[in-house]
Structure 1
Amino acid sequence: MIHLFLMVLLFLEAWPAELAYGDNQVLVIGTWVFMLTTCMALLLGAISMFEEDIPEPGRRNKVK
Structure 2
Amino acid sequence: MSIKSIAKKAFSAYARSKTAGTTGYGTTRPMRNRPIRHRPLKRGRSLETQLASKAARAIRKAI
Give me the TM-score of the superposition, normalised by structure 2: 0.36
Which protein shows a greater Rg?
A: 2
- Higher RCO, 1 vs 2 (CA within 8 Å, ≥6 residues apart): 2
More helix by share: 1
